[in-house]
Chain A
Amino acid sequence: DSGVTQTPKHLITATGQRVTLRCSPRSGDLSVYWYQQSLDQGLQFLIQYYNGEERAKGNILERFSAQQFPDLHSELNLSSLELGDSALYFCASSIHPGGGSDEQFFGPGTRLTVL
């Protein structure tokens, strides 16, 4: 158990809908990262927050947005869902703001299925 929690574990929804994925980092970690993993794309970095502020942005679609709250939990919002958004979404956390200085601890992931 990494100490990172994600909810829900599974999510099944229809195209065009909007969902929110939630992540609670390890106690003491200030950075939160979001990743998307699909069979044909591998692990793709979406976005990073550090202490409430966006720190780095990856291949995140405009239909997706995220935020980190004062209690350091983070939410990833996915809207106007398409079939291709079906994937495993991971959250990870680390202590420092820069990924080059420490390791990330991954949560168990949320499996999103868009029908």
Chain B
Amino acid sequence: EDKVVQSPLSLVVHEGDTVTLNCSYEVTNFRSLLWYKQEKKAPTFLFMLTSSGIEKKSGRLSSILDKKELSSILNITATQTGDSAIYLCAVPPEYNYGQNFVFGPGTRLSVLP
């Protein structure tokens, strides 16, 4: 069964700290991995990583895909209180094979002032 695991499940840091969130996956027919940020409402898209695009960066956020280790990390530098959210990692289905869209449990990040 396809599986996505995230660690840590919860993290509390102070503003200015750098954090690394981890996501590992066990899926058949891997095509891409998505990172989402969920604050009080709906998840919002951060990055999509594929075999041809294994590193993405946007401002203080960056993400790397390690296909050999079947994992990805999301880095946030110089954290701000606005970064407090649940960060979700997901592996979408290969529709030709009828896979399910699998989300990890999320990492709850709290950034204290």
Contact = CB atoms under 8 A, between A and B. Distances in A.
B42 A98 contact: no
Interface in B95-113: 95-96, 98-106
A48 B90 CA distance: 15
Contacts, number: 73
B66 interface: no
A100 B31 contact: yes
Interface residues of B, number: 26
By CB atoms of chain B within 10 A, which of A55, A58, A100 has the most? A100
Interface in A46-66: 48, 50, 55-59
A6 B90 CA distance: 22
Contacts of B106: 42-43
A91 to B, nearest CB: 9
Contacts of A43: 43, 88, 90, 103, 106
B34 A103 contact: yes
B94 to A, nearest CB: 6
A61 B88 CA distance: 24
Interface in A1-56: 2, 33, 35, 42-45, 48, 50, 55-56
19 contacts: A2-B44, A35-B103, A42-B104, A44-B103, A48-B93, A55-B95, A56-B100, A57-B98, A57-B100, A90-B42, A98-B92, A98-B93, A99-B92, A99-B93, A100-B92, A104-B45, A104-B92, A108-B41, A109-B42
